[in-house]
Amino acid sequence: MDAKHTADLVVLTIRDDLLKILLVVRENEPFRGRLALPGGFLRPGEDLERTARRELAEETGLEAHQLPLLQLHTYSDPDRDPRGRVITTAYLAIAPDLPTVAGGTDARSADWVEVDDSLREQLAFDHWIIIDNAMERIRSELEYTPLATSFCPQVFTLSELRRVFELVWGVTMDPGNFRRKVATIKGFVELTGRKRHNRDGGRPADLYRRGRARTLNPPFRRPVGAR
């Protein structure tokens, strides 16, 4: 029997001060009513990235033409789908301030859900494995690349950047130590010369943008107790 191919998407953003993932509720069998990653079958004439972008728009209403997609991994366990041999390629997307979503086509609904270990028992197929792999890649890349800035808007405060590390690594970080670590990494972030005034009347916060570095040197090591 020939294998069928699908594309699935791990789309992450920070909303309501929580790390959230885009999930759908399946309308059809198998796993009707269960949470799942958005995604679907490859169509004739499509490459997998086009499939991923089309399925994301159809199932969630999220327009993905400008959303950066990173190919994560291909999953080919023979028993991963009860319908038969289905091989999926997972894509990872990270962006700030992604909008409200709504279910469409074969998704009963779509929503942003907090990334939490409780999802392990709620997800269809092997989608928890895919999410777990994606999260470990992100946790690792935060140490060695400027990936954390992908969760931030074009200009951001160091407090906002620190919160990305805290949410992804599951730790609380000292603001002063964080600021000093960032300052030692050349090209990680750059001052914009602008400030953001706090609503409570406190000291205005410096605004930064992503720097030119592609790798962090020295690395930003995970603290003890981090995921």
pLDDT at 128: 98
pLDDT at 198: 78
Options 3.40.50.300, 3.40.50.20, 1.10.10.10, 1.10.3720.10; which CATH number does 146-210 get? 1.10.10.10
Structural contact between residues 155 and 208, judged by C-beta atoms closer than 8 angstroms: yes
Rounded to whole angstroms, how far apart are CA atoms 157 and 109?
A: 34
Decide if pLDDT at 170 tops 80.
yes
- Amino acid, res. 208: Y
Model confidence at 199, pLDDT cuts 50, 70, 90, reads confident
pLDDT at 201: 67
- Which H or E element spans position 142? helix 127-144
Decide if pLDDT at 80 tops 70.
yes
**pLDDT tens sequence across 86-132:** 999 999 999 998 999 999 998 999 999 999 999 999 999 999 999 99
Maximum CA extent, the chain: 67
pLDDT at 176: 97
Structural contact between residues 190 and 37, judged by C-beta atoms closer than 8 angstroms: no
pLDDT at 197: 84
Rounded to whole angstroms, how far apart are CA atoms 92 and 47?
A: 16
* Domain spans, the chain: 4-141, 146-210
Decide if pLDDT at 1 tops 70.
no
* CA 82 to centroid of chain Cα atoms: 27
Rounded to whole angstroms, how far apart are CA atoms 223 and 212?
A: 25
Rounded to whole angstroms, how far apart are CA atoms 156 and 166?
A: 16
Query: Average per-residue pLDDT in the chain?
Result: 96
Residue 109: strand, helix, or coil? strand
Rounded to whole angstroms, how far apart are CA atoms 169 and 222?
A: 7
Decide if pLDDT at 156 tops 90.
yes
Could you tell me the CATH superfamily of domain 4-141?
Nucleoside Triphosphate Pyrophosphohydrolase (3.90.79.10)
Model confidence at 202, pLDDT cuts 50, 70, 90, reads confident
Decide if pLDDT at 64 tops 90.
no
Residue 67: strand, helix, or coil? coil
Give the gyration radius of the chain's Cα atoms. 19
